[in-house]
Structure formats: C-alpha cells, structure tokens
Amino acid sequence: MTNGDTRTLLWFRRQLRMHDQPLFECLDQDREQTIGIWIVDPREHLDDTMGFRRTGPHRMRFLLDTAESLRASLRRAGTELLIRIGEPECILPEVTRDLEIDRLCFVQEPGSEEREIERAVTSRIDARVTALAPDMLLEMDDPVSFASTLPEVFSKFRRHAEKRIDMARSRSTPSCIRGIPLPRDFDEGVPGDLAGSIIESRDGTRAAMKFRGGEIHGLERLRHWMHEGDHLRHYKETRNGLLGSEYSSKFSPWLATGALSSRRVAEETLEYEDRRIANESTYWLRFELLWREFFRLHLLKHGPALFHRTGPAGISLTYRNDPSHFESWRTGTTGIPFIDANMRELSETGFMSNRGRQVVASFLSKNLDVDWRWGARWFEHCLIDYCPAANWGNWAYAAGVGADPRGFRGFDVLKQARNYDPNGDYVAHWLPERLDGLHGMARHMPWKHGGRAPVVMPEDSLDAARTRWENAPRLDSADPPFRS
C-alpha cells in the first residue's frame, strides 16, 4: 500500500547506466519511491520480415548483459529493475496499475518509431508522465527545436557547436534510491529467460576483442583505452585501422546502449588533456562525438524521411535489387576480399571498423545496385553498437541520399584496400582459406591469380553507379517510409 509518497516508475530505454543518468535528475528523493523497468519490444527486436531478426544474437546478448548489470547496480542503490518482454504501450499501463504508480518518467529518443511509441504510452497510461528531452552531449534546452534548424551539412553544425555551444556536464548519481517494495510473488522478470528463448549464441574466435555489455565494462574500456593504454594520444593516426582492439576507442556499443554517456567520454578527454597532452588526436575524439550528436539531431529533424529510399536529400535513385547480389554481400561471398573480410567480421563479431563500414555500404548501394536500406537492415541485425540515428544516417550518407554536400562519392574498393590494408593482413586474417599462397596486393585481387571472378568488377560497376546517381531525379518530397 502507498504511504503518501509519490510512486515513480523509471522507464529505462537507451540510457542503461547509473552515471550521468537523466532519469535520476528528475527525482525528488525525499518524497518519491522509485522502481525501474526495461522492456524488450518484439517489434524492435524480434521482427524478421526480411528473413532475419532486427536484433541478432550479438546485440541481444550485449543488451541482456547490459540490463543485468543495471539491475545489479540499482539493487545496490536500493531499488529494482523490472524486465519485461512486450509492447511498452501495453506493459507500462499494466505495471502502473499493479504497482499503483503515480508518475512515469522516461527520456525521449530521437527515432521516429520510438517517438510513436512514446505517444502511444502517454495516451494509454493512467499516471502523470514526465517525458525528458533527448539525452544530448551539447548543452541545449530543447533539442527538438534546435534540430528543426539544423544545417544539412555537418561542418556547418560543427563550427556553430564549437563556437557557440558548451558541452554539457555529467549529472550526479545518488548514492541510494528509495525503492518501491514489491508485493510478494511479484515477477521481476529474468533476463536469463529471455536469453534462453531468443538467443542463438555464437562466439567469433577470430575477434580482436570480446565486447561485454554493461556500465562496468564500458567504464573499464574507457579507463583502459584512454588512460592505461594511452591510445588517445595517437587516435587521429590510428583510427582508420582494421585489425586489432586499440586502433579506435570501441566505445560505440556502450554509447549505443547508454551504458557509457557521451558527456562522460568528452569530459575524460578534457581531463586527459589537462594531465597528459592536448593534440589533434585528443580533439578528434570529441570531433567524432559531434558526428554522433549531429546524426541524432538529423534524425530528430527528418523523422521518417530518413528511412525513405530517397533519403533526406530526396534523390530518387532506383535499384536493380538482384537478391543474389545482396546475398553475396551479406554472406561475404562477393569474391572481393576487402568486402568479404569486413562482412565476415561483422557477422562473426557484431563489429566492423568505421573504414570497413564506409566501404561496404558504398559497395552495396553503388557497385551492387541494391537498395541501401537492405544493407542498413542487415547492419541493424548484426551490429552490437546499432543505433538508429548513426546507422541510418551513415547509410543514407554512404548511399548518396543523406547529409552530404558533395557530389557523387563512391569508394574505389581496391584503392581503399591499397591504402588501408597494403599487405593484405586484414583480409588474410578473415579469409585465410581463400588467400593461401597470395601476398600483398595480390590478396585483394585473387581473380588475377587464378581465383574466380568477383560478382561485379569494382571499377566498371562504380562508373555505372556514378551515371545513375547523376541522372536520378531530385524530388521535393520523398516517397513513403520504409517498413520491412
């Protein structure tokens, strides 16, 4: 029974952490009792109309570990995290009734599907709703109205942000939280049960690094990579790497689940600069965090248009969509080692370098003439760091229908291979059985050394894509949003 205190339900969505937690900021600890909830929405995770689930095994395992870690932290602080599977607009009214909740508190997300769900929850719930503004790196009162005037070009946004907007400071974490006592036999929900029903677990044995979900592991990676290993010092020179665990921060899976806050990462770079060195590399990590911020605002600005074939730029490219081309790309069997090695790394580990992502995305949408959204969906399935804004924003950009001021930009795969994998070490690591006996650049062109011909020849197919892009009609309004 209630004791006069407000009973508040905290709906944890993509901020699965204790540090810098926006939900704690809105609590009145003297007058509120609290309980948390995390919901696995089948529409977001289990839907498989393209022949594969939206959330694949690597990300699901990472997410469940993250939720388990948050539950342990909340328990230590004095409260509980309920875990449920179902649609939030059904689950939340039910829990609100069962636990006599007075107030529901959540953080808004930039995604259009997420915002629709927020509206459905708000209209169905019998409790006061506090919807906090999206969690941003930069200090802004109203990200939604800021987004409405966002420049289409990143560098314009960056210059404005660097001159005029401060980075926001991390929020403080309460040492204890007054929980809502649960009725006897009330089911808290067990992530292990979900794992049993929806995970087919696989471990990539060739992976350079094992990603473990949860705030503790995210903070540990931050400490290790930046401070102990001192890798930030050379980040600008190493960040285009392909092999190994330290060439880039690998913070993305923790940032995407919110187990690590972008504010905390930015603050640590400033602290590092005070204590060790300030150089182009230390600046560059914040530069990349601004890209992340830009894509979040870009999604807020464009909403469902980001998921259109024609993208936010409204360029009406049509695609041949040969299913065998898509399959060869997805399964890493195009016959072009640089593409296949990256695609194999992605499906075995749930991770791919930024260089790899740019090249394979360009290759699918341009050389293979396949709708970029098919690729975005496959990334969504595989990536442990999947985040709607970064994934769909970068895909649209790579396909030439997104936030890019320049003209046609297609990657020459063999040039990329020469620049970033000159000895063929990366492709040999992922495709050892195919490249036996080949060395250096020969590893990137096995068809010139007795191997089978690739599904398309890289140069010819890129020229054809350029012509299609240049001739594509420019639209005033985009066609209907993509729903798989």
Ligand X SMILES: Cc1cc2nc3c(=O)[nH]c(=O)nc-3n(C[C@H](O)[C@H](O)[C@H](O)COP(=O)(O)OP(=O)(O)OC[C@H]3O[C@@H](n4cnc5c(N)ncnc54)[C@H](O)[C@@H]3O)c2cc1C
Q: Which residues bind ligand X (CB under 6 A)?
A: 239, 248-252, 255-256, 285, 288-289, 291-292, 295, 353-354, 357-358, 361, 379, 383, 385-387, 390-391, 394-395, 398
Beta carbon of residue 260, minimum distance to ligand X (angstroms, whole number): 9
Q: Nearer to ligand X by C-beta: 21 or 249?
A: 249
**Whose Cβ is closer to ligand X: residue 101's or residue 401's?**
401
Minimum CB separation from ligand X for residue 251, in Å?
A: 4
What secondary structure does DSSP assign to 294-332, as a single string? HHHHHHHHHGGGGGSTTTTTTB-------HHHHHHHHTT
**What burial class does residue 30 get, using C-beta atoms within 10 Å of its C-beta: 0-12 exposed, 13-18 middle, 19+ buried?**
exposed
Dihedral (CA of 313, 317, 319, 325) sign = negative
The nearer residue to ligand X, 155 or 172, going by C-beta atoms, is: 155
Please identify which residue in the block is written with the tokens 């020459």.
Answer: 412
Toward ligand X, which CB reaches closer, 71 or 373? 373
Nearest one of 29, 16, 112, 23 to 73, comparing CA atoms: 16
| CA 254 – CA 17 distance, rounded (Å) | 10
User: Of 208 and 475, which CB lies nearer to ligand X in the complex structure?
Assistant: 208
| Shortest distance (Å) from residue 108 CB to ligand X | 19
Query: Closest CB to ligand X among 349 and 353?
Result: 353
Instruction: For residues 393 and 370, give the distance between their C-alpha atoms in angstroms, rounded to a whole number.
Output: 17
Q: How far is the CB of 354 from ligand X (least distance, A)?
A: 3
Q: What is the distance between the terminal CA atoms of the chain, rounded to a whole angstrom?
A: 45
Cα dihedral across residues 182, 180, 219, 106: positive or negative: positive
User: What crossing angle do the helices spanning 337-349 and 413-420 adopt, rounded to 10°?
Assistant: 70
Q: How many residues does the chain have?
A: 484
| In the complex, least distance from residue 331 CB atom to ligand X, rounded to whole angstroms | 18
Q: Least distance from C-beta 111 to ligand X, angstroms?
A: 12
Report in angstroms how near the CB of residue 398 gets to ligand X at its nearest: 5
Question: 239 vs 325, which CB is nearer to ligand X?
Answer: 239
Quickly tell me which residue has 């939280």 as its tokens: 177
Distance CA 41, CA 43 (A): 5
In whole angstroms, the minimum distance from the beta carbon of 254 to ligand X comes to 8
The DSSP result for 64-85, as a single string, is HHHHHHHHHHHHHHT--EEEEE
Helix axes 413-420, 354-362, angle to 10 degrees: 170
| Distance between CA atoms of residues 337 and 417, nearest Å | 9
Nearer to ligand X, 285 or 455 (CB): 285
Q: Which is nearer to ligand X, 8 or 248 (CB)?
A: 248
For residue 158, the tally of other CB atoms under 10 A from its CB is 16
Min dist. Cβ of residue 237 to ligand X (A): 12
